[in-house]
Structure 1
Amino acid sequence: MNQGDKWTYFLGCYPLYSHDADDNRMFRIITSQLIDAGLCRQIEILNTFGVSKSSVARSLRKYRADGIEAFFQPRKTRKGGRVLTEDVLTKAQTLLDQGFTSGNVADELHVKRDTLRKAINDGRLSTKALPPEYTTKSCRTTIDAEAAKNMGTACTRPEERIVAAFGVCDGAPVRFEPCIDIPKGGVLCALPVLLMNGLLNGAERFFGTLSGYYRTFHIIILVAFMALCRIKTVEQLRGHAPGEFGKLLGLDRIPEVRCLRSKLRELGSDADIIKQWSAYLSKYWMDQDPQAAGTLYVDGHVRVYHGGLTKLPRKFVSRQRLCLRGTNDFWVNDATGRPFFVVDKTVNPGMLAVLEQDIVPRLLKDVPNQAYDKDLIADPFLSRFVMVFDREGYSPQFFKKMWKEHRISCITYHKFPDDAWPEEWFKEQKVTMPSGEVVTMQLAEMGSFIGHKKSGLWVREVRKLTNSRHQTSLVSTAYDMEYQKLASCMFSRWCQENFFGYMMHHFAIDLLAEYGTEQLPAGEEVVNPAWRQLVRERSSLQNKHRYRKVKFAELTLSEPDANDENAYNVWFSLKSSLLEELEHYEHELEGVKERIKSTPKHIAWEELSEEDQFQRLSPGRKQLMDTIRMIAYRAETAMAGLMKGPTIDTPAARRILQDLFITEADILPDTNAKILTVRVHKASRPAVNRALSLLFKRLNNSEVIYPGTDMQIFYELGGEGHPQNAGKGVTQTSPK
């Protein structure tokens, strides 16, 4: 019977023995006596007290061999050794005092780990106990719950909140506390790469300073962490402890959902400012990698809208093979799928119009290292940069205009290829894809004239012979590029499709960011509903006319024998009736076609009737979230590139990173050394731990300062020490 601090043993109703609950020696003596006397079995001791079988058996053997005196004999230990000499023990104790684990110390001193562990067990070495100021998860849970009685859950810095509420300070200071087992602490490993991809570049300049406790960079970093942790909506934050998440930002807690919505609404109130910030980042990314910006991929994506605030125009969604209401996003990416910017269109004018009016002018201004005019004159085949898109952008007139006016090369699939080429023209070629993979293709090339005689032009046509003997044709005005490179550019276009699929599944680019609508810009042209109705009528009449024309042809071919008067009369009557219907539908078709010609296809949005008018979804917060998600995707892609190796490809690296971002970690600040140590818990496999160790080593070389502090971030896996004299680093976000 357990009486709190004492165990009592009964035989029937009679007490036999008792001992203190923490007296392990008496426990082993009494249980050994009970088993030896046959009053109980070993299995009953195991089930009752939860001790190991080997421990019970060892105590029983000791009792049967030497009696009760055996439990009071001093433990025999080695007083010295040839491996752990006094000098080695001194070095080992010094390392243990610095916070290194026993495994690291054993490896450093070249002794067996079991040998060092025995020295710790028998008292020759002592491990450094966890300082009392380090808080555990259960301790923080209690503290956060107690704070709810006053200012609110996890509001453990009330003085700072009051000062910020009165506007005395510019938001909360970043102050890290020693914490153990922070949920999703592994996402801090992405911070250096997020900053290198411009997460905070220009944020204060474009958005200014938020009023209140939370500052601008707090909110932006929080949204980036949410994206990497696959927290897809603000509402989903309710399922995460606010105090624990706040420790990742150096705060007492993250903003409550309604507060965060308010902050995002404030940041996203001016869509023009967000566009300027997005354009600033796009230019920054292109300048960072001019080679990647030399070949740009453009593709459209339909963001489906299922709400009822407005009746958006219907668009054909190829992935669902349905016409659904939504908006069009035109993305510009590099050859590996990394995004540069996105152009959203409530009314879809078509890819060619978006390219000519929105994308090309921006690229001419932003793409770095473009050829000078004198170089373009000297080399008639030189281009400024290359654009790659699918068949939606196929237009010989557009290709000709881009080349003549801007010297921009275009690559796309041939929409109307001629007859198949002889297979002997195709040669096996090794093609290096943008990802570095080398593939073998059967390729052939020749010049082709596309378009009309006056508006067409000569292009390079490259065909790929597939295993099914199908010939995939592409055309290009990149006259100075090797045809193997042309094939590489065109056939890696699926990187954008993969990007869309990954972003929809992991970063929720299709989710609605806010509820609200606003009027379309003045002068926005939309499809005329009257014209659309006439087109529907024409299609209906054409189908009816086509059906009766087929029936008329069948009757003509099945004329009965003239001698069978009844059958002939029925046949003649049916044929006459069909002929009348054909003439009627032809007459109606002519009238509908004339009305279509006289009806404008597009009209201004203001000219729509009240029942046909629609509004666009509020773009501000959506553009803000998409920009931060682009940064998060680029950061994850960069980290995956750092992890790639002989045994880890990009998909495997992304899976490892997804697990890393939600792994628990310890936050250990050292204000004297100005080091913020993030100790991530180890993964389940040694191979993954080795990959993470290499990743952390590369991240530590960047010497990144946590925004709002002067502390350099240092990453390590659990069980690995870090140097106390790490050098200082400075970033653009550092106070220095």
Structure 2
Amino acid sequence: MTTQTAFPVLPGLGAVLMGERAALLENSTGGKVFINGQLAYVWGPGQDGLRRLAASQLVDTGAAQVNEVAAAFGINTESLRRWRKSLQGAGLVGLAPVKKGPKRPSLLTGEKAAEIQRVRAGGASLRATAEATGVSTDTVRRAMAMTVSTEAAPAATDLEGMAAGPQPQLPILPEPVPRTAERAAARSGLLECAEPVFAPAARIRHAGLFLALPALETTGLLACAKEVYGSLPDGFYGLETILIDAVLRALAGEARAEGATRFDPVELGRVLGLDRAPEVKTIRRRISQLVQDGKAQELIAALAKHHLTATGPEGEDLAAVLYVDGHVRAYQGTKKIGKIYSTRLKFPVPATEETWVTDAHGSPIFVVMAEPGASLATELRDLLPELRTAVGDDRRVLVGFDRGGWSPDLFKHMAERGFDVLTWRKGASKNVEEKLFAEVTHIDEHGQTRKWSVADTVVDLPLAATKKTGEVLNIRQLSRIVAATGGGTRQIHILTTDLTMGAGEVVYRMGSRWRQENQFRYARLRFELDSHDSYASTDDNEDRMVPEPAKKKAYQKVVAARNAHAEAAAIADANLLALKTPAEGAGEVTVTSAMHNQVMAPVWEAENALATAEKVHKSIPAKVRLGDLNPGQQVLDTETKLIHHGIRMAAYNTAVTIAREIRTNTGYKRADQEAHALMRQALNQTGDIDTTDPGYLTITLNPLPTKAKTAAIKELCAHLTSTETRYPGTQLILRYKINNHSQQPTAITSP
């Protein structure tokens, strides 16, 4: 007997194999199941009962295994178990889909809502309105909520006309567009990625997240990631989907991959245009595939270049002023991680340190993982070439940083390479004469005029590398008089190599460095900046030279010995003076050698102790091998963290952009104080998805709790619509509007 290959034709038609005997072929016209090459089950569109019957009997007859059938039909094994149980208990009737939705018609029709609004508008209480109209108080509340609009509430006669007009219908939370065939193809490695597909739907929980897409496009995350990585390996969830999902989750308050467990995958999937959003295991796997390329720093550099080549909200050059600072991320695990002093926690902790760069507005644009134990001055020197690449030309850039980067040699190095320094003066310095102080002003980007009393002078800083030759760096110093902690006043000094910028602007730019601290604080609170996205680690380079802690302790002993010697010398001088100065009326006093030696004995003893301490300090090397000092030390994985940092940077800049649009393009009176709060409220708003207009994806958000906020978001929607942003991966142009419930058609329940 000859042997025939099973299913010689079906795989070529797109059929999904279930073991060695069965195959499933589904399309828009229905589905078919073949057993041993013979047609066994057939169903048409909407005949879900017959489809469930086929799946159940494939298992009951032994034609295929449970997991094979569940995978082919795009369901989980628990659903398949329930289908089989229903078939055994009630037969084919038990497999019929149960229609979802209200069990009786809603009392709250358009006419009833208009009636309730008329009674309530007359001053009746909730209970009186409910009794007068024959409904419950909850129904009255829903009817009144339907009147929230960005404009004045329409008259009752208008409401009646609206209710009587033609009303298109959107299904309430319909089943997502089935992607069974694509998922099966993805499992077989035959799908590059699933494209977004949207269907009309009402009452979508995360509809407000669509507002973030125009601002997300301006960050360049998707374009830069595509440029650096190209694409992810073939699979259902592509590169754009993974990144959009990560940014939207961060904006919704869950920046870590584990945060995906706090979302309904189906609900979040509607915003992504998929049947389900990726879950934790999938997110980690897809990010790890990016990690294998080792291009995270290239992604960060591409994002920085994209950001700095754009213009600011007022048309200013975003590369004109940059701020640099280090951020310590504490580690609480059991691995042997080097300790770093945390200024926030006020003590050394096992941690990693990152060097961040932000623009003049405090928006993050660049980050690198600092070498363990490296100073900010060292990191700044190493960072300059990458900043120059991101800037893209030879223009001078003002770089602000705090006293951690203090180094006159670094200042000279930066000035020679086209970077101007902006920092605080470190260490003791002479006060500037009060007659040199004069009032200076600066008008900020919000039009507010600021005034300070400033002395603009030039000082000389000795260069450490040329102390023997006496070479110094001439640098501009701007001094201010401020209140001292214990009362009174003191002078603080700002140093800069920029000789053209006005004194008022220099003071303003130095104070604006706190925007970077605010960015750290906001990102820790909203985007989990200090979280560990990966606990993987590698052995540190044991041949790396690190500071010898014993050297510092020995120097402390030298300082103590110097102080003891100075104190002993002062006491000896006083005692010798007393010996040589006789009391009044006494005769001449002769100071003998024994008396002199007795007075000077403590001084000589202190000199010997100082010489010994200096000798010990000099004998200790400044640096030693890490392997000799702390063998087995490890460093945390940086590639995964940098990828997530790129995502968090995009999420932060997206949030800042939306908040800025609320301040500049809406009439919200409290925008300066509540722009970010209103932005977060809008992103968490429910709404509808409408695809009935070809080429457009219309997002209709439900009104916010107050008319003022609703009006502001309506203006924001109009502005975002004018950008004509396309949903990533599609040709659909996004349009936004606010749902006026008094005009809103009654939604129907999907079958």
Compute the TM-score of the two structures, normalised by the length of structure 2.
Answer: 0.69
Equivalent pair of 2:202/2:688 in contact (CA under 8 Å): yes
Q: Distance in 1 between matches of 2:519 and 2:504?
A: 24
Relative to structure 1, the CA distance from residue 720 to residue 369 in structure 2 (aligned partners, 3 Å threshold; closer, same or farther) is farther
Q: Distance in 2 between matches of 1:393 and 1:58?
A: 72
Q: Please name the residue that 1:644 is paired with.
A: 663
Aligned ranges 1:361-400 → 2 under 5 Å: 361-371=385-395, 384-400=396-412
Q: Please name the residue that 2:248 is paired with.
A: 225
Aligned ranges 1:21-32 → 2 under 5 Å: none
Instruction: Give the 3-state SS of the residue equivalent to 2:718 in structure 1.
Output: helix
User: Could you tell which deviates more after superposition, 281-290 or 712-721?
Assistant: 712-721
Amino acid at match of 1:638: T
Could you tell me which of 294, 316, 321 is aligned with 2:320?
A: 294
Aligned ranges 1:97-246 → 2 under 5 Å: 112-119=154-161, 125-126=164-165, 128=167, 130-131=169-170, 134-136=171-173, 156-207=178-229, 208-246=231-269
Equivalent pair of 2:150/2:707 in contact (CA under 8 Å): no
Q: Please name the residue that 1:668 is paired with.
A: 690
Percent of counterpart pairs with the same letter? 24
Could you tell me which of 423, 426, 440 is aligned with 2:434?
A: 423
Relative to structure 1, the CA distance from residue 649 to residue 418 in structure 2 (aligned partners, 3 Å threshold; closer, same or farther) is farther
Q: Distance in 2 between matches of 1:188 and 1:160?
A: 24
Q: Please name the residue that 1:685 is paired with.
A: 706
Could you tell me which of 482, 485, 501 is aligned with 1:466?
A: 482
Flag as ranges the 4+ runs of structure 1 deviating above 6 A: 21-24, 101-107, 544-559, 574-581
Q: Please name the residue that 2:303 is paired with.
A: 281
Could you tell me which of 720, 725, 728 is aligned with 1:707?
A: 728
Q: Distance in 1 between matches of 2:631 and 2:718?
A: 60
Q: Please name the residue that 2:275 is paired with.
A: 252
Equivalent pair of 1:396/1:455 in contact (CA under 8 Å): no
Structure 1 residue runs of 5 or longer lacking an equivalent are 1-20, 25-50, 60-100, 144-153, 372-383, 560-573, 723-736
Amino acid at match of 1:135: I
Aligned ranges 1:562-581 → 2 under 5 Å: none
Q: Please name the residue that 1:490 is paired with.
A: 510
Equivalent pair of 2:554/2:617 in contact (CA under 8 Å): no
Matched, 1:335 2:372: no
Relative to structure 1, the CA distance from residue 557 to residue 112 in structure 2 (aligned partners, 3 Å threshold; closer, same or farther) is same
Equivalent pair of 1:286/1:367 in contact (CA under 8 Å): yes
Q: CA deviation at 1:296?
A: 1.4
Q: Distance in 1 between matches of 2:603 and 2:180?
A: 89
Instruction: Give the 3-state SS of the residue equivalent to 2:305 in structure 1.
Output: helix
Structure 2 residue runs of 5 or longer lacking an equivalent are 1-103, 108-125, 135-145, 464-468, 577-597, 744-751
Q: Distance in 1 between matches of 2:105 and 2:477?
A: 85
Aligned ranges 1:582-597 → 2 under 5 Å: 585-586=609-610, 588-596=612-620
Equivalent pair of 1:640/1:650 in contact (CA under 8 Å): no
Amino acid at match of 1:225: L
Q: Please name the residue that 2:423 is paired with.
A: 412
Q: Distance in 2 between matches of 1:120 and 1:329?
A: 58
Q: CA deviation at 1:120?
A: 6.1
Q: CA deviation at 1:636?
A: 1.4
Matched, 1:317 2:342: yes
Relative to structure 1, the CA distance from residue 181 to residue 489 in structure 2 (aligned partners, 3 Å threshold; closer, same or farther) is same
Aligned ranges 1:403-552 → 2 under 5 Å: 403=415, 405-416=416-427, 418-433=429-444, 436-451=447-462, 454-466=470-482, 469-520=489-540, 524-527=544-547, 531-539=548-556
Instruction: Give the 3-state SS of the residue equivalent to 1:714 in structure 2.
Output: strand
Q: Please name the residue that 1:613 is paired with.
A: 632
Amino acid at match of 1:460: R
Instruction: Give the 3-state SS of the residue equivalent to 1:659 in structure 2.
Output: helix
Cα deviation, 1:151-197, whole Å, max 9, x if unaligned, reads xxx89532221111112221222111222222232121011110121
Q: CA deviation at 1:483?
A: 1.9
Equivalent pair of 1:243/1:253 in contact (CA under 8 Å): yes
Q: Distance in 2 between matches of 1:632 and 1:693?
A: 22
Q: CA deviation at 1:321?
A: 1.2
Relative to structure 1, the CA distance from residue 415 to residue 552 in structure 2 (aligned partners, 3 Å threshold; closer, same or farther) is closer
Q: CA deviation at 1:585?
A: 4.9
Equivalent pair of 2:543/2:625 in contact (CA under 8 Å): yes
Q: Please name the residue that 1:303 is paired with.
A: 329
Instruction: Give the 3-state SS of the residue equivalent to 1:299 in structure 2.
Output: strand
Q: CA deviation at 1:336?
A: 0.9
Q: Distance in 1 between matches of 2:650 and 2:106?
A: 59
Q: Please name the residue that 1:10 is paired with.
A: none
Q: CA deviation at 1:481?
A: 1.9
Relative to structure 1, the CA distance from residue 412 to residue 339 in structure 2 (aligned partners, 3 Å threshold; closer, same or farther) is same
Compute the TM-score of the two structures, normalised by the length of structure 1.
Answer: 0.71
Matched, 1:263 2:286: yes
Instruction: Give the 3-state SS of the residue equivalent to 2:272 in structure 1.
Output: coil
Relative to structure 1, the CA distance from residue 216 to residue 721 in structure 2 (aligned partners, 3 Å threshold; closer, same or farther) is farther
Relative to structure 1, the CA distance from residue 545 to residue 293 in structure 2 (aligned partners, 3 Å threshold; closer, same or farther) is closer
Instruction: Give the 3-state SS of the residue equivalent to 2:317 in structure 1.
Output: helix
Give aligned pairs, total: 580
Amino acid at match of 2:495: V
Q: Please name the residue that 1:149 is paired with.
A: none
Equivalent pair of 1:155/1:253 in contact (CA under 8 Å): no
Instruction: Give the 3-state SS of the residue equivalent to 1:466 in structure 2.
Output: strand
Equivalent pair of 1:333/1:496 in contact (CA under 8 Å): yes
Instruction: Give the 3-state SS of the residue equivalent to 1:320 in structure 2.
Output: coil
Amino acid at match of 2:378: A
Amino acid at match of 2:336: T
Instruction: Give the 3-state SS of the residue equivalent to 2:499 in structure 1.
Output: coil
Equivalent pair of 1:309/1:516 in contact (CA under 8 Å): no
Q: Please name the residue that 1:718 is paired with.
A: 739
Q: Distance in 1 between matches of 2:742 and 2:158?
A: 17
Q: CA deviation at 1:537?
A: 4.9
Equivalent pair of 2:252/2:684 in contact (CA under 8 Å): yes
Higher relative contact order (CA 8 A, sep 6+): 2
Q: Distance in 1 between matches of 2:246 and 2:717?
A: 23
Q: Distance in 1 between matches of 2:637 and 2:208?
A: 34
User: Could you tell which deviates more after superposition, 438-447 or 620-629?
Assistant: 438-447
Q: Distance in 1 between matches of 2:333 and 2:177?
A: 36
User: Could you tell which deviates more after superposition, 202-211 or 342-351?
Assistant: 202-211
Q: Please name the residue that 1:730 is paired with.
A: none
Q: Please name the residue that 2:91 is paired with.
A: none
Equivalent pair of 2:524/2:530 in contact (CA under 8 Å): yes
Q: CA deviation at 1:265?
A: 1.2
Q: Distance in 1 between matches of 2:207 and 2:719?
A: 19
Q: Distance in 2 between matches of 1:653 and 1:345?
A: 34
Q: Distance in 2 between matches of 1:355 and 1:603?
A: 23
Q: Distance in 1 between matches of 2:413 and 2:185?
A: 61
Equivalent pair of 1:426/1:465 in contact (CA under 8 Å): no
Q: CA deviation at 1:484?
A: 2.0
Amino acid at match of 2:719: R
Q: CA deviation at 1:344?
A: 1.1
Cα deviation, 1:222-253, whole Å, max 9, x if unaligned, reads 11111111103221221221110111100011
